[in-house]
Structure 1
């Protein structure tokens, strides 16, 4: 089983090199940094740490949409592994064994998605606790046990990811969680216990729009009228 790490990194020059170095010390055979037109030294520092830097415009000729989901969608296409492990570029508590732990459950052919399970070392997870979890409990109770539904650290079978749509923005994690459960059953989703996670906390002015797209994604998946989200289609039909 080949493992690829995909790191979406927009203007993350201060932390991306450390993330790359930790990922390269894991079981991963390749570490890709997907660069969505960074204007700082993200690409140079990622390459210097040993990553393969992939400008997102080179993956597909279509003009990119803004948002994390777009970077992940293009990253899945660019990856070569059987399993793709997503890691955020701003995590400062990352350890190499996180990648190993997220990839390990795929030895079971019935597992298609693995979400990180961790504690946060400082105030955080506000969108998770106040938006995602209440909506999942109400609309998708079969997924209410997932402790970190919006975790940026998770893994997916590449063959599965290629057959799913990707929400363009920060609703991508919620969308994939629900779509994998629908396609393969909730039992196809596992959790990997990781050590406490530290990352850059965002102000409420940024969290509000994130909560909007997460809520719209969950509501749209539940079939609520007039709740639509922009999403890229699956790379592979069927």
Structure 2
């Protein structure tokens, strides 16, 4: 298995610089396909505008028409995310306005699934809306192999993920100190710890993949929110509604099209706001649950599934107070099974 992973790394790992824009445009013209970019967004007014402007200015101009459609799916922001995104040039759709027949569930995967319905491109590229210092290479880099390699169906971005510290005093999980010395979202000024972001990846996803799906051990950022795929693949896959969506899509893509149809592209450095430790705990539980469901399906495991709730604790005046949250368990069916989608595609 190790040799297979090494061969895959040699064949299916690239950098954004490997495919200049003129090469991508020539391949797009020759193939005749279209590209849609979807940004799932929830209270991202501080960053979404710059991302939209970069994509429109660098990849949707008359000179560089690489991206055909740019959609921001707002999942219920209470700030000015929708207005900022629209002013920057994106088409903004509220999550609940897409497939209104099906009541929306909370979660990132739900937004991505509805974003697939709301777009038309032959290639669909998902980009998180909280990225700072955004580079259009995030889009062109991961779309590139899908335009130039006919046998590649799914591409993940890989990158350095620094964790912001404050005067060297930030806690390992980046949580805020009582004196405010380390911001919980990682935005406090101070030095950074290279490679220390992606804590759920290192503590949960990577061990799970290495143990149960070792073919995927070569993915640098298996949980990264920046990836692109052919619509013909995405419409066949179930979407976990919550934070398990990235792991679920990756594992299901492996079982659907095989390892050699998967790839990754180095796009540099990813800067974004960091979650606090309790949010990371909820994320980890959803990812573990997603993996367990797939193990059950793939290996015919017997016995009950794990308890689909996660209990965490806050310190109150009288001691620790339990707080229990549901773990995302719902999944949407493959988009091709949705009557509205089938009708639209047939038309």
Q: Give 1:170 deviation, angstroms.
A: 0.4
The answer for unaligned runs of 5 or more in structure 1 is none
- Number of residues of Structure 1 aligned to a counterpart in Structure 2: 238
Q: Give 1:121 deviation, angstroms.
A: 2.7
Tell me, in whole angstroms, the C-alpha distance in 2 between the residues paired with 1:200 and 1:143.
26
Tell me, in whole angstroms, the C-alpha distance in 2 between the residues paired with 1:117 and 1:170.
18
Is structure 2 residue 41 aligned with structure 1 residue 41?
A: no
Greater percentage in strand = 2
Tell me, in whole angstroms, the C-alpha distance in 2 between the residues paired with 1:190 and 1:94.
22
Is structure 2 residue 158 aligned with structure 1 residue 117?
A: yes
Residue 38 of structure 2: SS of its match in structure 1? strand
Tell me, in whole angstroms, the C-alpha distance in 2 between the residues paired with 1:84 and 1:94.
19
- TM-score normalised according to structure 1 size: 0.96
Q: What value does the CA root-mean-square deviation take over the aligned residues? A: 1.4
The answer for unaligned runs of 5 or more in structure 2 is 1-32, 60-65, 164-195, 309-328, 338-347
Q: Match for residue 179 of structure 1?
A: 252
Q: Match for residue 20 of structure 1?
A: 52
Greater Rg over alpha carbons, structure? 2
Is structure 2 residue 101 aligned with structure 1 residue 66?
A: no
Is structure 2 residue 277 aligned with structure 1 residue 204?
A: yes
Residue 28 of structure 1: SS of its match in structure 2? coil
Residue 103 of structure 1: SS of its match in structure 2? helix
Q: Give 1:20 deviation, angstroms.
A: 0.9
Is structure 2 residue 36 aligned with structure 1 residue 4?
A: yes
For residues 160-196 of structure 1, what are the alpha-carbon distances to aligned partners after superposition, in whole Å with 9 as ceiling and x for unaligned?
1111110000000000000010000011110011111
- Aligned match for 1:222, one of 295, 302, 307: 295
Q: Match for residue 103 of structure 1?
A: 143
Tell me, in whole angstroms, the C-alpha distance in 1 between the residues paired with 2:138 and 2:243.
22
- Aligned match for 1:31, one of 64, 67, 70: 70
Q: Match for residue 239 of structure 2?
A: 166
Tell me, in whole angstroms, the C-alpha distance in 2 between the residues paired with 1:230 and 1:3.
29
For residues 30-86 of structure 1, what are the alpha-carbon distances to aligned partners after superposition, in whole Å with 9 as ceiling and x for unaligned?
110001121111000000000000111121021110000000000011111111111
Residue 118 of structure 1: SS of its match in structure 2? strand
Q: Give 1:93 deviation, angstroms.
A: 2.8
Q: Which runs of 4+ in 1 moved over 6 A?
A: none
For residues 179-214 of structure 1, what are the alpha-carbon distances to aligned partners after superposition, in whole Å with 9 as ceiling and x for unaligned?
010000011110011111100011101100000001
- Aligned match for 1:157, one of 225, 230, 234: 230
**Larger relative contact order, structure 1 or 2 (CA cutoff 8 Å, min sep 6):** 1
Tell me, in whole angstroms, the C-alpha distance in 1 between the residues paired with 2:159 and 2:133.
11
